[in-house]
Amino acid sequence: MHYIKRAFWTVFWVLLIVFLHYTLPQRDIARIVETEVRRVDFGENSIFWAGADTGQDGTGVNRDIRFVNTVRKTTYLFGLIQTGRERPMVYRNEDTGWGWPPYFKLDSSNLQTEMADNKSTANDPQWVVLTHYGWRNEFLSIFPNAVGVRPIEDPNTRLIPYFNILILIILAGLMLGFYRLTQWFRREKIDPIVDSASEKWDGVDAYADEKRAGFRGWLDSFKGKKKRY
């Protein structure tokens, strides 16, 4: 039981961290190479795509999707430390609309224009800070969804994720509150019921013992034994 409990909570925390890593915004410093639109047929990876533009019909089996091809500065430790290398990165640019994740992004077309406006070449780079959520994974052909873009002068700036820190603090507070609620519920509402139920059960048990003793005694009377109590 102890191991099952521990395994359950390990899985829970790992899933939560993975979920947050996918959903919370991250920022990359990148140089936009090209913006394009191409058709995508969704398959096994369909869960990693958002819906059609808000207000449009989303029932089709495939869709044209806006993409932004970039070269980005790679980082580690949640984007806090730059490695000094540059790697290609492709973002998709889709509305999240009123669904999940709750970015309420409705301006994909405008964002695509801004992206195109900041296009540059390797010889004369215009670096941008690109906010996005999601993962790039070549095995699944999935792309992070760009949410915002702004030009930046110094590509070696360290971006501190204040927004994520705030969200995580709020989330921790909510979880602590929920934990205290469940503890209170167990202490004040469940335990008294269980206690009174086990008292009742003790009573039933004692009564059964008494009755059984009586029945035994009655049976024993046939065998000429003496009553036992």
Enumerate binding residues for other proteins (CB under 8 A).
Answer: 54-55, 97-99, 102-107, 110, 147-148, 181, 184, 188
- Which CB atom, from 99 or from 214, has the smaller least distance to other proteins? 99
Cβ 189 to other proteins, closest distance in Å? 9
Q: How far is the CB of 72 from other proteins (least distance, A)?
A: 21
Long-range CB pairs of 184-189 (<8 Å, 24+ gap) are: none
**Distance between CA atoms of residues 37 and 188, nearest Å:** 59
Tokens 């669904």 correspond to 99
Q: Cβ(149)–Cβ(129) under 8 Å?
A: yes
Neighbours of 1 (CB within 10 A): 5
Contacts of 47 (CB under 8 A, 6+ apart): none
Nearer to other proteins, 40 or 114 (CB): 114
Could you tell me the smallest distance in angstroms from the CB atom of residue 172 to other proteins?
17
Nearer to other proteins, 54 or 126 (CB): 54
| Residue with smaller CB distance to other proteins, 8 or 178 | 178
> Closest distance between other proteins and the C-beta of residue 188, in Å?
7
Give the whole-angstrom CA distance, residue 207 versus residue 229: 15
CA 27 distance to own-chain centroid? 18
Q: Which is nearer to other proteins, 140 or 170 (CB)?
A: 170
SS3 213: helix
The distance of closest approach from Cβ of residue 128 to other proteins in the complex, given in angstroms and rounded to an integer, is 16
